[in-house]
Amino acid sequence: MTGSREQVLANIRRSLRRTEPLGESARAGLEARLAAPRANLKPHYDGDPVAHFETRIRAVSGIVTRVHGAAEISDVVQAHVRKHGLALDLVVAPDPDLDDIAWSNHFKVECRAAVGSDQTSVTSAFAGVGETGSLVLLSSPRSPTTLNFLPEDHLIVLARSRIVPHIEDVWTRLRAEVGAMPRTVNFITGPSKTGDVEQVIQEGAHGPRRLHVILREDR
């Protein structure tokens, strides 16, 4: 509706006491603000980002296991699956960062997007945020978004070197390493939950019931 577009913009300009779009110099100032985004205040916290990340994600019911290399990951996943009575079928993100994991023969591993009946997914995070305990996943052919939401249990491999102090540092890395925004950037801070029944917090609303971070100390 082109008519609506012009009408809305004209109303906005009238309310701002202008009759036309912004002048050249005002526009250049705003363009410059967009071209070189500046971080606002970043809250201070004590301790190093990795330790803070671990404290924060545990505080929202996330599980964290530290491993020293790819060789330990299969065992961690197997222990998780056994403990929570899940099937031995895994959907693993087709991510080169996960290629060095040697999956135990007990598992049936498929690399693809998720379907409704999948129980357990394993993905790799773009970043972790020390401030909030959030995991950041970017959609791409190697990281299908459905893996983050459809399965019952979500295990995320996070390299220690990918943990940044604040939310803003994720954007700096994203602009430097990826460039344009992917279709989806997911900040995930704990397992899915709801408080919609009498404000009682219940985990496993629509997304994963459990979130397990496998923190790789070697990367």
Partner 1 sequence: MQSNAHDFKRRADVALEDMELQKALQLLKTGFTLKRAESIAALPEFEALRTQGREIKEHTLAHLDFYLETFERNVRASGGHVHWASSVEDARAIVVRICSDAGAKRVTKGKSMVGEEIGVNEALEAAGVDVLETDLGEYIIQLAKEPPSHIIAPAIHKTKAQITELFHTHHAKHGKSVRVIEVADIVNEAREVLREGFLASDVGITGANFLIAENGAAVIVTNEGNGDLTNTLPRVHIVTAGIEKVVPTLEDVSTILRLLARSATGQQMSVYTTFSTGPKRREDLDGPDAFHVVLLDNGRSEMLGNEFHEMLRCIRCSACMNHCPVYGAVGGHAYGWVYPGPMGAVLTPLMVGIEKSTPLPNACTLNGRCQEVCPMQIPLPAMLRRLREREFDEGLMPRMARAGLAAWAFLARRPRLYRAVTGVGVKVLSLLARGKGRLRYLPLAGAWTAARDLPAPAGETFQQAWKRRQRGLGS
Residues 60-119 within binding reach of partner 1 (CB under 8 A) = 60, 94, 112-114, 116
Nearer to partner 1, 102 or 198 (CB): 198
Q: Between residues 54 and 74, which has the closer beta carbon with respect to partner 1?
A: 54
What minimum distance in Å lies between the beta carbon of 218 and partner 1? 28
Tokens (6 digits) for 167: 């939310």
- The answer to whether residues 120 and 92 touch, using CB atoms and an 8 Å cutoff, is no
**Within 146-165, which residues bind partner 1 (CB under 8 A)?**
146, 148-150
Specify whether the CB–CB gap between 36 and 171 falls below 8 A.
no
Residues between 184 and 213 with contacts to partner 1, criterion CB under 8 A: 184-200, 202, 204-208
Min dist. Cβ of residue 122 to partner 1 (A): 15
Residues 6+ apart with CB under 8 A from 187: 129, 132, 134, 135, 136, 167
In whole angstroms, how close is the CB of 132 to partner 1 at the nearest point? 4
Q: Which stretch binds partner 1 (CB under 8 A): 10-18, 47-55, 73-81, 83-91?
A: 10-18
Tell me the DSSP string of 114-166: --TT--EEEEE-SEEETTTTEEEEE-BTTB-GGGGTSSSEEEEEEEGGGEESS
